[in-house]
Amino acid sequence: MNKKPIRTNSILEDVRYEIRGELAHRAHEMERQGYEIISLNIGNPGLFGYRTPETMRLAMIENLGQSEAYCHQKGIFPAREAVVMQQQDRGVMDVSADHVFMGNGVSECIDLVLRALLNSGDEILLPSPDYPLWSASVSLNHGTPVYYGCRPDRGFLPDPDEIQALVTPRTRGIVLINPNNPTGAVYPRELLAALVAIAEENQLIVFADEIYDQMLFDGVEHVPLATLVHDTLCATFNGLSKIYRACGYRVGWVSFNGDREHAADYLHAVELLASLRLCANVPGQWAVQTALGGHQSIAQLTAPGGRLYQSRQAIIDGVEASDFLELQRPEGAMYAFPKVNADHFPDFDDQAFALELLEKQHVLIAPGSSFNVPYRDHFRLTTLPDNRTIAAVFERMEHVLESFTA
């Protein structure tokens, strides 16, 4: 009997997530063969020895007895109230626990808010480069990603005039990732105010992905978008994965402020979807209050002499010592987005470089084209390894780049 292949959902044709794609699959194969791979494709602090603060672990353990039943669809009250208190400390006064939804990571929250919003053909404005989960979630929920450029020659900052020109009657929202993944750019207040003005004029929902909000360097200021949004709806995303080094806890949240009066039906739809998945992971939620209200250990890691600061500096130094690379210095987050000098490699292909680096030097990176950009001369690597590992990585990259010139 001839069996037909199982057909997949055609909507997946527009979905990409190369960070865990073919290169990552090849790296796993090589590890099974005994090779040691330096994996720089994912911002996964625990993989590099960063520990979740002990107080958070204890808070979760001490409340395991209260974690065996489903909780409220929006999450446990202490976690949601902790988010409210943090927002109020930052000047966001128009939010209460009723306006906070806990999710299984920010990833689930992104899916919920887009699924509740989008009809076929609706448009969402996304940065290019972007974190590809946003693009994938728009497509999976029958929307259309529309990209606004954050070009290297502008320091990876968007142009408000370009964004205004992209707005159509089908545009429903705009996504801002600040600090940015993959570039490490941090948006100044004046730029954010201009983008908020566009959103308010056109009644676009502002989706503020601020998961790296406290991971800042050299005195750079992060401005919470929710403090600037008043006349439209603002959804702020955050979680425990990055600042608190608790990726595996899978705890994220979205809080809504701004014009909720005209968003009542939409917020009800978000709650309906939250109810359908019953609730988010309960044990991890018990760590939220301790995390947000306690000592913020990220400050020591990002200060001069701190491990994240030193690792970022090692990448900056590695690029400066290279004959082939350039870098817009990252101001935040845990990534760098180097560029290969076009004078040396006019036909450079980031995918081919990444594969060669993996096969010959056992280093896994993410090609820049994975982040929905029209060019192929960038790549992303995480700043999480120690200085010695980063120095070794750049030595290996130089060998591959030199071989490309032969």
CB contact at 8 A, 126 and 175: yes
For residue 330, give the CATH number of its domain: 3.90.1150.10
64: in domain: no
- Which of 247, 264, 293 is the endpoint of a domain? 293
**Token pair recorded at residue 397:** 């990259």
* Tally of domains in the chain: 2
- Which of 293, 317, 348 is the endpoint of a domain? 293
**Token pair recorded at residue 306:** 């701190």
For residues 306 and 285, state if they share a domain: no
Span 199-242, pLDDT tens digits: 999 999 999 999 999 999 999 999 999 999 999 999 999 999 99
**For residue 18, is pLDDT > 90?**
no
For residues 96 and 24, state if they share a domain: no
For residues 115 and 18, state if they share a domain: no
**For residue 3, is pLDDT > 90?**
no
- Helix, strand and coil in the chain, % to nearest 5: 45, 15, 40
Distance of CA 398 to the CA centre of its chain: 28
Looking at every residue in the chain, the average pLDDT score rounds to 95
Span 274-326, pLDDT tens digits: 999 999 999 999 999 999 998 899 999 999 999 999 999 999 999 999 999 99
**For residue 142, is pLDDT > 90?**
yes
For residues 306 and 289, state if they share a domain: no
Please give the angle made by the CA atoms of 123, 184 and 163, to the nearest 5 degrees: 30
For residues 91 and 196, state if they share a domain: yes
For residues 208 and 356, state if they share a domain: no
Angle between helix axes 307-321 and 387-405 (nearest 10 degrees) is: 20
For residues 119 and 253, state if they share a domain: yes
For residues 262 and 223, state if they share a domain: yes
**Token pair recorded at residue 65:** 């007895």
Which residue in the block uniquely carries the two structure tokens 């979905």?
15
Q: Which amino acid is at 402?
A: E
Residues paired with 102 in a beta bridge: 253
For residues 186 and 307, state if they share a domain: no
For residue 143, give the CATH number of its domain: 3.40.640.10
4: in domain: no
61: in domain: no
CB contact at 8 A, 390 and 318: yes
pLDDT at 185: 98
For residues 239 and 335, state if they share a domain: no
**Range with the poorest average pLDDT among 8-12, 126-130, 333-337:** 8-12
Span 60-73, pLDDT tens digits: 999 999 999 999 99
Taking residues 327-334, report their average pLDDT. 97
**For residue 358, is pLDDT > 90?**
yes
100: in domain: yes
**For residue 373, is pLDDT > 90?**
yes
- Which of 265, 293, 321 is the endpoint of a domain? 293
Cα distance between residue 310 and residue 313, in whole Å: 5
> Domain of 238?
69-293
SS3 340: strand
Return phi, psi of residue 283, to 5°: -55, -45
pLDDT at 1: 77
SS3 209: strand
For residues 34 and 173, state if they share a domain: no
**For residue 101, is pLDDT > 80?**
yes
pLDDT at 343: 84
